[in-house]
Amino acid sequence: MPVFTVHAPVVATNAHADADSFVFVRDGFHFWAFLAGPLWLLWHRLWLTSVAYLAVLAAIAGALILLRTGGDTRFVVILLVAALMGYEAASLQRLALSQGRWREFGVVVADDAEAAERRFFGRWTGEEPQAGPPPVNRPPSSLPTGLGGPAHDVIGLFPQPGAPR
């Protein structure tokens, strides 16, 4: 499941008044940042980061040309830089938010951004319980006790404690 970090402006004090100003940043690989890094950065308003990314990309391409590397080598190096951009895009976005007037407010695990918003605001306002349903406790008499039952099975290479060898 994807993990989202929740960022809020420093001036946000009430969930109902400032709910629209919260930003949810999904952790993980961003395909569009990999495919079109500068455009992804501009779309997310990371202006200085996009300028720095283009400068680093130009410096690497220039160094590869000066070293007289082949076209295949240049392609692989640029592809690796693009992959790095895809993996670190969320970190760059979180870094830019922490530089401004934003603070990290929490972490939410959900299937998508909508579910993350519902789960975060439900938990923050107290409408949703913090934990899932309570665990089911079965009485000891209902546990299987036969020789071939799950109580005597071996998981991996670790036998049950106290079982005969």
**Residue 39 domain flag:** yes
pLDDT higher than 70, residue 109: yes
pLDDT higher than 80, residue 134: no
Mean pLDDT of the chain: 82
Strand partners, 4: 26, 108
Q: Which domain holds residue 23?
A: 3-125
**Residue 45 domain flag:** yes
pLDDT tens digits, one per residue of 25-67:
999 999 999 999 999 999 999 999 999 999 999 999 999 999 9
**Which pLDDT score is estimated for 115?**
92
**Residue 152 domain flag:** no
pLDDT higher than 60, residue 132: no
In the chain, how many domains are there? 1
**Residue 147 domain flag:** no
Q: What is the edge-to-edge ordering of all strands in the sheet holding 3-9?
A: 23-26, 3-9, 102-109
**Residue 71 domain flag:** yes
Q: Give the tokens for residue 20.
A: 């629209």
Portion of the chain with pLDDT greater than 90, in percent: 53
**Residue 24 domain flag:** yes
3-state SS of the chain: helix, strand, coil percent to 5?
Answer: 55, 15, 35
pLDDT higher than 60, residue 144: no
Q: Give the tokens for residue 30.
A: 């961003």
**Residue 48 domain flag:** yes
**Residue 154 domain flag:** no
Closest CA to 109 of 98, 100, 99, 117: 117
Sorting pLDDT into bands at 50, 70 and 90, what band is 10? confident
